């Protein structure tokens, strides 16, 4: 079967999984190449997402790694859908496939620029703020389900410990003032934002209410840049999420981000505002 020469977001996600499967089994790329009659450079291209994937190649790798049938079928289905560029529909609140893809891409990014209009950026949320927000969105979750979702968000935040990652969070002032949860939780969340902004690889900027209409009013988004891979833009609402990898789309969101930053407070001013809100002085 002919491979798609242009790697999509889904095929890049499969490439990450394939590399993980090989490394989990303690195998070298050269050893796998020899066993399957492939060149080491082909294994490298498959694992780095340098090119699209073929079902035959991926099936051969999964068979060599003795991947369970259910997991194998899921991965091969991703390869077959790799040419599709569309929304990843949610299954309840968890967005399991999309969530895992986002975690994987965030873990490889060298820069993430995230604009949020309604909520605190996920990578900077406190556990109690996350729990309150999730509970308000879905009141039918069991305690165990809620605990798992909060824990997964906390685990996702570990990417901020990577020194090579630069994270820019741009937050609309309305998200800081809106009474989404109990006042004590919000005050502690605001202080956490101020503390996070003091980390060497984290910048927090606030878009003040006085700006009025601006480019971010169409919704939240994140632009992810990588060392050797093409950039991505991620957008999401309550029901669906989407990765955009077309150059024109990414350029449009970079332009929107630039326009938003032109209206945003500088980091020091942003910290002053958040501190004042946390202390109830504004």
Domain CATH for 70? 1.10.260.40
Residues 129 and 193 in one domain: yes
Burial tier of 68 (Cβ tally within 10 Å: 0-12, 13-18, 19+)? exposed
CA dihedral 137, 139, 143, 149 (to 10 degrees): -20
Average pLDDT over residues 99-112: 87
How many domains does the chain fold into?
A: 2
What is the pLDDT, as a whole number, of residue 238?
64
Per-residue DSSP letters for 163-207?
TT-EEEEEEEHHHHHS--S-HHHHHHHHHHHHHHTTSTTEEEEEE
Residues 95 and 168 in one domain: yes
Residues 65 and 95 in one domain: no
Residues 106 and 223 in one domain: yes
CB atoms within 10 A of CB 149: 20
Per-residue model confidence as pLDDT tens digits over 161-219: 998 999 999 999 999 998 777 889 999 999 999 999 999 999 999 999 998 777 777 88
Residues 231 and 107 in one domain: yes
Residues 150 and 50 in one domain: no
Residues 157 and 246 in one domain: yes
pLDDT at residue 275 tops 80: yes
Helical packing angle, 55-64 and 29-36, nearest 10°: 110
What is the pLDDT, as a whole number, of residue 85?
52
Report pTM. Answer: 0.74
Residues 127 and 46 in one domain: no
Q: What range defines the domain where residue 54 resides? A: 9-80
Per-residue model confidence as pLDDT tens digits over 68-101: 998 888 888 888 876 665 444 444 444 456 777 8
pLDDT at residue 268 tops 90: yes
pLDDT at residue 248 tops 90: yes
């Amino acid at each position: 079967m002919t491979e798609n020469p242009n790697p999509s977001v889904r095929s890049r996600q499969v490439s990450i999984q394939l590399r993980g499967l090989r490394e989990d089994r303690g195998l070298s790329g050269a050893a796998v190449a020899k066993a399957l009659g492939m060149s080491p450079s082909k294994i490298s291209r498959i694992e780095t997402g340098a090119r699209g994937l073929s079902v035959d190649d991926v099936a051969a790798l999964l068979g060599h790694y003795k991947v369970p049938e259910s997991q194998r079928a899921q991965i091969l289905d991703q390869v077959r859908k790799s040419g599709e560029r569309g929304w990843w529909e949610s299954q309840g609140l968890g967005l399991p496939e999309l969530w895992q893809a986002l975690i994987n891409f965030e873990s490889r990014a060298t820069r993430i620029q995230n604009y949020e209009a309604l909520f605190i950026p996920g990578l900077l949320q406190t556990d109690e703020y996350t729990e309150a927000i999730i509970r308000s969105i879905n009141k039918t979750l069991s305690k165990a389900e809620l605990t798992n979702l909060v824990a997964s968000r906390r685990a996702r935040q570990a990417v901020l410990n990577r020194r090579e990652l630069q994270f820019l969070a741009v937050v609309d002032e309305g998200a800081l003032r809106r009474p989404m949860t109990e006042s004590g939780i919000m005050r502690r969340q605001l202080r956490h934002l101020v503390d996070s902004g003091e980390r060497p690889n984290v910048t927090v900027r606030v878009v003040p209410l006085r700006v009025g209409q601006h480019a971010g009013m169409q919704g939240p988004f994140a632009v992810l840049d990588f060392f050797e891979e093409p950039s991505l833009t991620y957008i999401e609402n309550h029901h669906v999420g989407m990765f955009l990898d077309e150059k024109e789309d990414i350029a449009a969101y970079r332009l929107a981000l630039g326009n938003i930053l032109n209206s945003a407070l500088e980091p020091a001013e942003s910290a002053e505002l958040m501190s004042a809100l946390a202390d109830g002085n504004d």
